[in-house]
Chains A and B, each alone.
Chain A
Amino acid sequence: MADVTLTIDGQSVTVPQGTTILQAAKMRLGMELPHYCYHPGLSIAGNCRICLVEVEKMPKLVTGCSTQCGEGMVVHTQSARAKEGRGGVLEIMLTNHPLDCPICDQAGECKLQDYYMTVGMHDNHVVFPKVHKKKIVPLPPHIVLDQERCILCSRCVRFCQEITKTNELTIAMRGTHSEIEAAGDGTIDNGYAGNLHEICPVGALTSTDFRFQARVWWLKSHKSVCPGCSTGCNTWVDDRRGEVKRLRARENASVNQWWLCDEGRYGYKSINAPDRLKTARVKKTDATSGTAIGEVWARLKTIAAKKGGFAGIASAQASNEDLFVFRRLVAHMGGVADFRIDDSLTKTQTRVDEILRRADKNPNTTGAKLLGFGDGPGVEAILKSAAEGKISALYVLDADRFDAAGWTDKLRAVRTKIEFVVMHATRECGALDLADVVLPAATYAEKDGTFTNYEGRVQRFWRAIRPIGDARADGAWLATICAEFDAADAALAKPAAAFNAVASETPALGDLRWEMIPAEGALIAPGAAPKDKVG
C-alpha cells in the first residue's frame, strides 16, 4: 500500500495509507491523543469525540481516531481550537457524570480524571440537575455496572460483539438517557468478562473481585506470564504489601494481544490461599529448612551409594529453570523422570475456544518436553515399578498437581515399598501425608523464570512478591540438594544461570540467553508447532 506524508504539529510523518491520525501520532511521534472509545483491539467507533484535532482546510475539528491520514494534510493537535474543542467535549461528558471518585475503584487510573487535568480544568456551566441512572447493576459473575458513571464509549459493547461474539451488552434509550444494558438474564459469563472492566476507561464497569480491595495507586505492578494454560498470556501482577490483588493483561501482539481469560485473571487466588505451605516438614512435623535439606541429603546419598532406583515426577507447571535443575538431580541419582501427571501432552494443541484458552492447563508442557521429561517411563509405569520394589526414592516436584490428578491413592497403595519420598508443594494436599520430607515451594509470582508455551515461545516472568514463609523456588531447593553431589550446581539456584545452562545444552534454544529474551518472548523452532484444533 502506498505511503502518505503529512504534518502533525509541525513534524513531517510518513505512514501507510489508511492509518488514522491518532495511530500516526502514536506510531511515529509517540504522542498519545486523548481517547475513550478508541481501543487498538476493537473497531473504530469515533463516538466519544475527545480526540478532536484541527486539520487545515477542514471547516470543523475532526476526530483523530477515525480520520485517515491524507497526503499533505496539516494537523494541529495542540492548537487553541483543538484544545477548546476537547475541553468542550469533556465538559459534556461530565454533565451527568456523578463524580463519586472517592467511592469509585477506577479513581487513580480513570481517563476522565486524567484528561480533566490536561484539557479540562473548567468551571461547571451546568445549572440543571444531573440525570440519575442505576448505580449498582450486577452483571454476574465478575462485573458490576454503574450506569451513571458510563460515558457511552461503547468499548464493552464492541468487545462483546467483536471479540467474544456473545453480544451481551447494548446501549439502550436515547440521548441523555442512553445507558448500557445487558441482554437476557443479565449475566456476562463468556469466559472473558474480566476484560470489560479492564478496557472501561472510566469506572462504569468494575470488578466484583477487586471491588474496594485497594486504591490503585497503592499497587505495584510486575510483569508476569499466566500459568493457567499453555497459551502463556502476558500479565501484570499487581500487589500491595506482598499480597497479590489483581492480574491485568499485558499487551503482547504475538500471544494474547490485549486480553486475558477469566480463568487466568482470577486464578491468582492460589498465591494468597490460606492453606499455603509455609514451612518444611520432616515425617509430618514442621522442621527448619536446614533440617529438611539435611534429611534429604543423608537419605539420597545412601540410596545413590546403593545404586538403588530413583524416580522423579515433575509437572508442566514448573519453569524451564526448575525442570533443568531437577534433571540435574535425576542425573546425579542415575534415575528416571517424567512430567506427565495429567494428560497435558495430548492436549497441548487443543484450543478451548477461538480466542485464548487451551485445553492443556499447564504453562510449560513444551518446555518440559524439550528438556527431555517426556521420554521417561510415565507416572503409571513409575508407580508400577515401585509396586515391584524397584524404586527406593521418589521425588515429586509438584505434589499439588500430583494430588489433583488423582495419583495419591495409587501412591498410597505402594508407599511401603518405597524407602524415601520427597515432595515439593505450594499448598496443603492429601499427598503430603505420604512424604518423608515436604519442602514448601514458591509460586510463579514469587520467583523468576521462563515458560515455553504451546507454540514454542520462551517467555520470561518476574518475581512480584516475597515468597511466603520458608518457601523457595523449586530450583533453589534442588540446587542446594544437587550441590551435595557437585559443588558447581549451587550456582543453578539462580534462574539466570540455570536458563543459560539449559540454553547451552538444548539445541532448540539456539543461542538464546537469559538477558536476551525479548519482551514478546522468543519463538524457538518456528513452524514446528502442529496445527491447532478447537476441542
Chain B
Amino acid sequence: MDHQTAHKLEPEGDAPRRPVRELTAGEAVYLVEAFKGLGVTFRHFIKNLFNRRELPTVSYPEEKRDYGERFRGRHVLNLREDGTTKCVACMMCATICPARCIEIVAEESPTPAIEKRPKSFVIDGLRCVMCGFCVDACPCDAIYMTGEYDFAEYAREDFLWDLTHLTRRPSLADAPRGYRPRIE
C-alpha cells in the first residue's frame, strides 16, 4: 500500500465513531475479568489433557508432520550409477532462479562422454525462496527438491549448501524425493 492510498483510508475528521460502551461494575474491578480469562485457559488445558489425539500441535522434533508429495523442501543433486553428479553445469537453474541464489562454476570433466561438470555448485539457502523453478528448468534430471524442511543451523555459512551437501548429506539416505515437474 503506498502512502497516498493509506492516507485516503484514514477516517475524515468528523466521521462517526463507534460508541464506547461504559464498563459494568464487575468489569471495572478488573480482577473478576482476569479470573474469567484464566478460566478459559484452564478449560482448554483440561480438554487437551484428556483428548491428546485432537491436539492441533505436533511435538517437533520428536514428531514430524507429513506434507504432500508436491512439497518443495531442501534441494538434492541426483547422482549417476557411478556416483558422479548428473549436473552438467548448464546453468539453466541459475538462469531461471528468481532469487539469484545458485552459483555454479563449470569445468571440463575427465570423462569425454560427459564433457562438462560443476566444479562448484552452491545454493544459498538463506536466499532461496523454494519456488522450484530450478527443478523445472533442469534438462538433465539433476536437481530435485526433497521433503526435508528442517533447516535450522547455527551459522550463516552453514546455509551455503555446496556440492557435497547437495549430493551426500547424511539425511539423504531416507529423505523422500519431493517436488519434480510432471512431464506431459
Given known A-B contacts A102-B90, A102-B139, A212-B89, A136 and B116 have beta carbons under 8 A apart:
no
Contact of B91 among A100, A136, A215 (CB under 8 A): A215
B31-68 interface code vs A (CB 8 A; 1 in, 0 out): 00000000000000000000000000000000000000
Question: Is A412's CB within 8 Å of the partner chain B?
Answer: no
Question: Is B92's CB within 8 Å of the partner chain A?
Answer: yes
- Which residues of B are found within 8 Å of A211, using beta-carbon distances? 108
Q: Is the CB of A102 within 8 A of B107?
A: no
Question: Is A217's CB within 8 Å of the partner chain B?
Answer: yes
Question: Is A177's CB within 8 Å of the partner chain B?
Answer: no
Question: Is B160's CB within 8 Å of the partner chain A?
Answer: no
Q: Is the CB of B95 within 8 A of A215?
A: yes
Cα distance A513–B107 in the bound complex, in angstroms: 47
Question: Is B6's CB within 8 Å of the partner chain A?
Answer: no
- Which residues of A are found within 8 Å of B112, using beta-carbon distances? 135-136
A81-113 interface code vs B (CB 8 A; 1 in, 0 out): 000000000000000000011110001000000
Interface centre among A101, A107, A212, A213 (most CB of B within 10 A): A212
Name the residue of chain B whose CB is nearest to the CB of A100.
B115
Given known A-B contacts A103-B88, A212-B89, A136 and B115 have beta carbons under 8 A apart:
yes
Tally of contact residues, A, Cβ under 8 A: 13
Shortest CB-to-CB span from A210 to chain B, Å, is 11
Cα distance A217–B94 in the bound complex, in angstroms: 12
Question: Is B131's CB within 8 Å of the partner chain A?
Answer: no
Q: Is the interface of A mostly helix, strand, loop or mixed?
A: loop
Q: Is the CB of B95 within 8 A of A217?
A: yes
> How many B residues touch the partner, as a band?
10 to 19
- Which residues of B are found within 8 Å of A101, using beta-carbon distances? 90, 139
Q: Is the CB of B95 within 8 A of A103?
A: no
Q: Is the CB of A212 within 8 A of B95?
A: no
- Which residues of B are found within 8 Å of A135, using beta-carbon distances? 112-113, 115
Interface centre among B91, B108, B113, B139 (most CB of A within 10 A): B91
Contact of A212 among B106, B139, B140 (CB under 8 A): B106
Shortest CB-to-CB span from B77 to chain A, Å, is 15
Given known A-B contacts A135-B113, A135-B115, A212-B116, A102 and B108 have beta carbons under 8 A apart:
no
Shortest CB-to-CB span from A260 to chain B, Å, is 25
Q: How many A-B residue pairs have CB under 8 A?
A: 31
Name the residue of chain B whose CB is nearest to the CB of A213.
B106
Cα distance A91–B6 in the bound complex, in angstroms: 59
A-contacting residues, B65-95, CB 8 Å: 88-92, 95
Cα distance A212–B109 in the bound complex, in angstroms: 11
B-contacting residues, A198-238, CB 8 Å: 211-213, 215, 217-218
Q: Is the CB of A103 within 8 A of B90?
A: yes
Shortest CB-to-CB span from B130 to chain A, Å, is 24
Given known A-B contacts A212-B89, A215-B91, A215-B95, A102 and B140 have beta carbons under 8 A apart:
yes
Cα distance A107–B92 in the bound complex, in angstroms: 11
Shortest CB-to-CB span from B114 to chain A, Å, is 8
- Which residues of B are found within 8 Å of A136, using beta-carbon distances? 112, 115
B91-121 interface code vs A (CB 8 A; 1 in, 0 out): 1100100000000001110001101100000
Name the residue of chain A whose CB is nearest to the CB of B142.
A102
- Which residues of A are found within 8 Å of B140, using beta-carbon distances? 102
- Which residues of A are found within 8 Å of B90, using beta-carbon distances? 101-103, 107, 215
Shortest CB-to-CB span from A146 to chain B, Å, is 9
Cα distance A423–B9 in the bound complex, in angstroms: 65
Cα distance A136–B109 in the bound complex, in angstroms: 11
Contact of B92 among A100, A102, A212, A218 (CB under 8 A): A102
Contact of B107 among A100, A107, A212, A217 (CB under 8 A): A212
Name the residue of chain A whose CB is nearest to the CB of B87.
A102
Cα distance A101–B116 in the bound complex, in angstroms: 12
Given known A-B contacts A135-B113, A212-B107, A212-B108, A102 and B95 have beta carbons under 8 A apart:
no
- Which residues of A are found within 8 Å of B139, using beta-carbon distances? 101-102
Shortest CB-to-CB span from A105 to chain B, Å, is 9
B-contacting residues, A104-155, CB 8 Å: 107, 135-136
- Which residues of A are found within 8 Å of B107, using beta-carbon distances? 212
- Which residues of B are found within 8 Å of A102, using beta-carbon distances? 88, 90, 92, 139-140
- Which residues of A are found within 8 Å of B113, using beta-carbon distances? 135
Cα distance A213–B90 in the bound complex, in angstroms: 11
Cα distance A528–B95 in the bound complex, in angstroms: 52
Cα distance A100–B89 in the bound complex, in angstroms: 12
Cα distance A162–B89 in the bound complex, in angstroms: 37
Shortest CB-to-CB span from B129 to chain A, Å, is 21
Name the residue of chain A whose CB is nearest to the CB of B118.
A212
Shortest CB-to-CB span from B95 to chain A, Å, is 7
Shortest CB-to-CB span from A109 to chain B, Å, is 14
- Which residues of B are found within 8 Å of A100, using beta-carbon distances? 115
Name the residue of chain B whose CB is nearest to the CB of A107.
B90
Cα distance A212–B115 in the bound complex, in angstroms: 10
- Which residues of B are found within 8 Å of A218, using beta-carbon distances? 91, 95
- Which residues of A are found within 8 Å of B95, using beta-carbon distances? 215, 217-218
Name the residue of chain B whose CB is nearest to the CB of A208.
B108
Cα distance A213–B140 in the bound complex, in angstroms: 19
- Which residues of B are found within 8 Å of A213, using beta-carbon distances? 106
Shortest CB-to-CB span from A182 to chain B, Å, is 18
Instruction: List 8 contacting pairs A-B, 8 Å CB cutoff, sorted by A.
Output: A102-B92, A102-B139, A103-B90, A103-B116, A212-B107, A212-B108, A215-B91, A218-B95
| 20 more A-B residue pairs beyond the given contacts A102-B139, A135-B113, A136-B112, with a C-beta to C-beta distance below 8 A | A101-B139, A102-B88, A102-B92, A102-B140, A103-B88, A103-B90, A103-B115, A103-B116, A107-B90, A135-B112, A135-B115, A136-B115, A211-B108, A212-B106, A212-B107, A212-B108, A212-B116, A217-B95, A218-B91, A218-B95
